[in-house]
Chains A and B, each alone.
Chain A
Amino acid sequence: MELFPNGWWPYLAGGLLVGTGVGGIFLVTGLRAGASSVLTTTWSWLSRCDYFQRPVFRDARTWRLVFSLGLVAGAAAYAVLFGRDEDFLTEVAPWRLLVGGALVGFGTRLSRGCTSGHGICGISAGSRPSMLAVAVFMGVAVLTAQAVRAMGITP
């Protein structure tokens, strides 16, 4: 069995760039840039619900949205420079994106972290709850993806 049937360097180079983004933001601003918080902080503009109006969310809503715009712009730059449309368009069924997306939104915000928040920032900071969260969501995701495929659902 081959570990990296599609090559390894784009993965490693991409990961180093991701770390450069997170690390650079920390060195210049002191902020720890996980990606999932924007899903909550953005609601502080739209909902008067007490939870979304917490200072911890209101105070971060602008930079988190700007960070998300950066993510979009950076990926767009790559696509324009090096990509072809067919490299990027997903064929994963819309219902999977919708249901999966909803679970991702609910779960990451309940857990207060995602692949970047717990996975990159949390582990890098040596946070034990983050390490535990990563082990749990990776394990559950592997089992879920296997189950989905076993049910014959592709893509």
Chain B
Amino acid sequence: MSESLFGMPPANVDADIAEGRVALTVDTSLHSLDAIYAAAYAFIGRCYVLLERPAPERVRVVLAPKPSGADGDALRALIGEFANELLSATWRREITRSNRALIEAVTMQAFAGALGSPSLDDLEAFQFGDEPFEDPLGIAQSWEEKYRKKPRTPEEPTE
């Protein structure tokens, strides 16, 4: 049976205390799907997490603590922590985008410094397969590939 939790807006948070579940309905115009994934992923160690799609602009995140028997207070604390984590993930995403160049530069220097040059043994052990290697920072891309203007898609906002 769905019920509200003290201090939580009933339009966004609902709980089924008997079933040990609590849910937050998220407006995706405020929080991107990437941020929702990031926050949800942080909880899969201690909760069962299910994402639902109640409406086109909404994602409902359902959390059920793995040990059953959580009471209303525990569920309230849990969904509150999730909401904080979601806000943090959303903001982190924006900051990372703004500071991307600085973060990439520092990370690259740190790893170049710590890894050093590969030895002949390292090169010998390297698997030159068909799979593209992981390049999350786009280091291997040419300037043209990385920065060329992409064709504008209809949903992109214009400035």
**A interacts with B:** no
Measured CB to CB, the residues of A under 8 A from B are none
Measured CB to CB, the residues of B under 8 A from A are none
